[in-house]
């Protein structure tokens, strides 16, 4: 008896599976993938968009920038995502991958900026660091007396007498993270140049001075996983430690932690927006133009995303930690969205 | 050592006092080592218990406050001029009216002294951004209220909730606080007048996900987990039981079945992400099934639960004494009849226990679901096996990663809900075992 029911259940499951196998076609819900940095903003917009009532709330997956691009460029058709978020600009290789799979027209929409902060507990001192100092504290190899050596610094005041006599202890993202990529590029690379160490790397046979971006692995830099909340908690518990994470986490926890000044500039909204604060990056959303008209609501969703009440200075995305574009740039972006002007691959 | 012991057994009574003392010393040593062993055992158990208590304690301590939310009672006048000036009574017109304005009027009437635009905005920030939608839905469903002044309880912003629960420090400088002094002043007045109060957080258990902590709920994830597990059970249980019966009762013992057996045991130890990759390659890319769907999640988890169920089912079948089978065969039953009428019913409790434990295991999985798109922000409560859905552990992961402080307690609360489900499922397994267990 039980076996018969089992067979029936199995049959039903098989039928179910095959019935849906061919049914991936029509989709009435926008599907978004991409960067975990853009994720909080896209989800907030998706929710507000869904509440407007005309369309279903889009589904937003957090896949990371690279993973998102791979899915996005997987082809045209409703089994591929419509939009992808990116915490950096699309690469030439990704545009080529897209083109190869038939995704010819991609619309690039810049949604705002994200600052990366170097923060510690409120109980610790406010530091004013240069990129070169941060580089010296975190690089795997530094230049001492003209020679390239493994990073010898264990205390901040060994780097510069003006810095406190505390142990160098920095919690930051792992190499898989987009925040780490941006940090490497914006702080480590320029810090290396400022510290005038590039030549030393080149002299050691490292043509492109890639060693500049290599972070030390002797325990002073602690990879704290992708969970920025955890880093904040650890900073509160240990007043000598520093953390590297997105501006939104600093803003949310401003009563417990403080951001170090970098090159004399405080990590504040206005400074990031105006570009004065040197460690910030642009965030993008890419739209697959071929899906407009196939999946309902894409144009409307992007209009909502780029509207003043979302990505504007007082918009709800600013509440979530997004740093708004200057008005002139924002209006240009709105025109792009209205016309859905695709990227020109030749510009890369 | 052995020859000393041998001597004692031969001539225990003729042993000299010296030998007896040596014997006693040895005996004492053996007792001591037993006591030490027991002590280590107790220490190991205590360490485990302490960790468990710490873990559960910290989760409950952090999470319990999330079951209470903060609401404020407002006197809202549902002005016909604002809601439906033409008197159409059309639900669409009613729902799309400017309810923010109505709420603003209600707050303004409580605090007539607030005049500047900035202060008004700060005041309105204390109310949840979802409040207008709530009011809209309420009026749409009860259009007879238009024109009246009603008492309506709206959710406050998550920051107000955090302030009431003491998670926002008042004594830090104003610019480091998410609520300014003016807003805290309004808050204190609302508390003093009794309009602001804490109440059971029904949203947490009845709504889908949201980026606003006060509106975020687990129901979408619970339903998603349910659909996923239904698929898992529907596929893994019958397949697992059939495989177990065949291997145990019918399969010849040879190289091939030995290989299958070893592989089933190995499969039980395969890291779960591998099943996710398999799901991506087979179900999504080859069969073209939809992303983020509980159907695919269920299939992937079924693959994962299958070896667990097969192993448990085989153990249950093995536990049925051969005399039952021999008696049935002796009475002229065919092998199939023997299995269906006797072995299977008798081993069913053990199989069900195995299945439920396999399901409980599947309920806690996130890694395989990552690859098939179920780690996603989904607001709408899923309506079926192919609508986009997420599951409870994924919801926990997404909340843990959100910057808003109110999500910290929500994360712990979600863990508590997941644990309740797990304990419940394990309790069913124990109940079934106790109720239907047969002693031979």
| Percent of all residues in chain A with a pLDDT value above 70, rounded to a whole number | 92
What is the rounded CA–CA span in Å between residue A128 and residue A126?
7
The verdict on a CB contact (< 8 Å) between A16 and B385 is yes
Within 8 A by CB and 6+ apart from A156, the residues are: A127, A137, A163, A164, A165, A166, A167, A168
The verdict on a CB contact (< 8 Å) between B238 and A6 is yes
The verdict on a CB contact (< 8 Å) between A10 and B95 is no
Angle between helix B219-245 and helix A2-21 axes, rounded to 10 deg: 130
Residue A60 has its nearest CB partner, among B130, B287, B376, at B376
pLDDT band at A199 (very low <50, low <70, confident <90, very high): confident
Mean pLDDT of chain A: 86
Is the per-residue pLDDT at A19 higher than 60?
A: no
Contact of A51 with chain B, judged by CB distance below 8 Å, is answered with yes
The verdict on a CB contact (< 8 Å) between A21 and B287 is yes
CATH topology of domain A29-113+281-347: D-Maltodextrin-Binding Protein; domain 2 (3.40.190)
Q: Which residues 329-348 of B are in CB contact (within 8 Å) with A?
A: 340, 344-345, 348
Residues of chain B short of pLDDT 50, as ranges, are 1-2, 5-7, 10
Among A14, A26, A45, A47, the residue to mutate for chain B (most B Cβ within 10 A) = A47
Within 8 A by CB and 6+ apart from B253, the residues are: none
What is the rounded CA–CA span in Å between residue A71 and residue A69?
5
The whole model's pTM is what?
0.82
Find the closest chain A residue to B375 by CA distance.
A61
CB A280 within 8 A of CB A116: yes
The verdict on a CB contact (< 8 Å) between B401 and A24 is no
Residue of A181, A155, A188, A152 whose CA lies nearest to A169: A155
ipTM of the complex: 0.79
Which pLDDT does position B89 carry in this prediction?
79
What is the rounded CA–CA span in Å between residue A275 and residue B46?
56
Show me where the domains of chain A are located: 29-113+281-347, 115-280
What is the rounded CA–CA span in Å between residue B89 and residue A263?
62
Tens-digit pLDDT profile for residues A221-242: 998 876 778 888 889 999 999 9
Q: Which residues 3-42 of A are in CB contact (within 8 Å) with B?
A: 3, 5-7, 9-10, 12-13, 16-17, 20-24, 27, 29, 31, 36, 39-40, 42
Is the per-residue pLDDT at A3 higher than 50?
A: no
The verdict on a CB contact (< 8 Å) between A2 and B385 is no
CATH topology of domain A115-280: D-Maltodextrin-Binding Protein; domain 2 (3.40.190)
Which pLDDT does position A11 carry in this prediction?
52
Please work out, in degrees rounded to the nearest 5, the angle formed at the alpha carbon of residue B187 by the alpha carbons of B183 and B191. 170
Residue A20 has its nearest CB partner, among B177, B295, B405, at B295
The verdict on a CB contact (< 8 Å) between B388 and A9 is no
């Amino acid at each position: 008896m039980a076996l018969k029911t089992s067979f029936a259940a199995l049959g039903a499951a098989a039928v179910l599976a095959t019935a849906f196998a061919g049914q991936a076609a029509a989709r009435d819900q926008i599907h978004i993938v991409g960067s975990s940095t853009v994720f909080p903003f896209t989800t907030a917009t998706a929710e507000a968009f869904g509440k407007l009532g005309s369309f279903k709330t889009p589904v937003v997956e957090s896949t990371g920038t690279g993973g998102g691009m791979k899915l996005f460029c997987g082809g045209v058709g409703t089994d591929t995502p419509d939009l992808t978020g990116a915490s950096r600009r699309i690469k030439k290789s990704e545009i080529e991958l897209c083109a190869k799979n038939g995704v010819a027209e991609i619309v690039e929409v810049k949604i705002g900026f994200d600052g990366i902060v170097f923060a510690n507990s409120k109980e610790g001192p406010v530091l004013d660091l240069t990129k070169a100092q941060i580089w010296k504290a975190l690089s795997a190899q530094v230049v001492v007396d003209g020679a390239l050596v493994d990073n010898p610094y264990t205390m901040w005041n060994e780097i510069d007498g003006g810095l406190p006599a505390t142990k160098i202890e920095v919690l930051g993202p792992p190499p898989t993270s987009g925040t780490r990529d941006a940090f490497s590029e914006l702080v480590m690379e320029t810090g290396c140049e400022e510290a005038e160490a590039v030549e030393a790397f080149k002299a050691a046979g490292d043509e492109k001075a890639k060693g500049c971006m290599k972070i030390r692995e002797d325990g002073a830099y602690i990879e704290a996983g992708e969970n920025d909340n955890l880093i904040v908690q650890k900073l509160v518990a240990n007043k000598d430690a520093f953390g590297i994470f997105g501006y939104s986490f600093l803003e949310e926890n401003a009563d417990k932690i403080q951001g170090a000044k970098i090159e004399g500039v405080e990590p504040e909204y206005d400074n990031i927006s105006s570009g004065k604060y040197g460690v910030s990056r642009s965030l993008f959303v890419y739209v697959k133009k071929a899906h407009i008209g196939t999946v309902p609501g894409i144009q409307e969703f992007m209009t909502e995303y780029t509207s003043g009440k979302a990505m504007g200075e007082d918009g709800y995305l600013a509440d979530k930690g997004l740093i708004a574009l200057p008005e002139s740039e924002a209006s240009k972006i709105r025109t792009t969205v209205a016309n859905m002007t695709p990227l020109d691959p030749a510009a890369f | 050592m052995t020859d000393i012991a041998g001597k004692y057994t031969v001539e225990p009574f003729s042993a000299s006092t010296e030998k007896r003392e040596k014997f006693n010393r040895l005996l004492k040593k053996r007792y001591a080592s037993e006591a030490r062993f027991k002590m280590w055992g107790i220490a190991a158990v205590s360490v485990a218990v302490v960790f468990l208590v710490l873990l559960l304690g910290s989760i409950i301590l952090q999470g319990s406050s999330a079951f209470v939310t903060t609401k404020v009672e407002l006197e809202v006048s549902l002005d016909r001029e604002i809601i439906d000036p033409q008197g159409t009574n059309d639900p669409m017109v009613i729902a799309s009216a400017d309810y923010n304005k109505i709420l603003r009027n209600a707050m303004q009437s409580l605090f007539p002294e607030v005049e500047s635009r900035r202060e008004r905005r700060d005041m309105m920030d204390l109310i949840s951004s979802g409040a207008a939608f709530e009011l809209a839905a309420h009026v749409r469903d009860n259009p007879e209220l238009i024109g009246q002044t009603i008492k309506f309880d709206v959710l406050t912003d998550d920051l107000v909730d955090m302030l009431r629960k003491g998670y926002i420090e008042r004594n830090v400088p104003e610019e480091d606080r998410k609520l300014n002094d003016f807003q805290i002043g309004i808050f204190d007045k609302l508390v003093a007048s009794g309009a602001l109060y804490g109440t059971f957080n029904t949203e947490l258990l009845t709504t889908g996900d949201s980026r606003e902590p006060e509106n975020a709920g687990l129901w979408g994830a619970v339903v998603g987990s349910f659909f996923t597990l239904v698929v898992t059970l529907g596929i893994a249980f019958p397949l697992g039981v059939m495989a177990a019966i065949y291997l145990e009762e019918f399969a010849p013992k040879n190289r091939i079945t030995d290989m299958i057996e070893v592989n089933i045991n190995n499969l039980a130890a395969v890291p779960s992400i591998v099943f996710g990759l398999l799901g991506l390659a087979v179900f999504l890319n080859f069969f073209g099934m939809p992303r983020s769907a509980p159907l695919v999640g269920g299939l992937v988890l079924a693959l994962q639960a299958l070896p667990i169920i097969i192993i448990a089912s085989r153990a249950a079948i093995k536990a049925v004494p051969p005399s039952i089978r021999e008696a049935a065969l002796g009475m002229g039953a065919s092998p199939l009849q023997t299995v269906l009428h006797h072995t299977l019913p008798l081993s069913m409790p053990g199989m069900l226990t195995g299945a439920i434990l396999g399901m409980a295991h599947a309920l806690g999985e996130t890694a395989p679901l990552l690859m098939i798109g179920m780690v996603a922000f989904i607001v709408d409560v899923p309506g079926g096996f192919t609508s986009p859905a997420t599951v409870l552990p994924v919801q926990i992961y997404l909340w843990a990663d959100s910057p808003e402080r109110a999500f910290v307690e929500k994360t712990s609360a979600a863990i508590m809900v997941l644990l309740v489900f797990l304990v419940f499922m394990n309790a069913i397994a124990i109940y079934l075992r106790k109720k239907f267990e047969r002693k031979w």
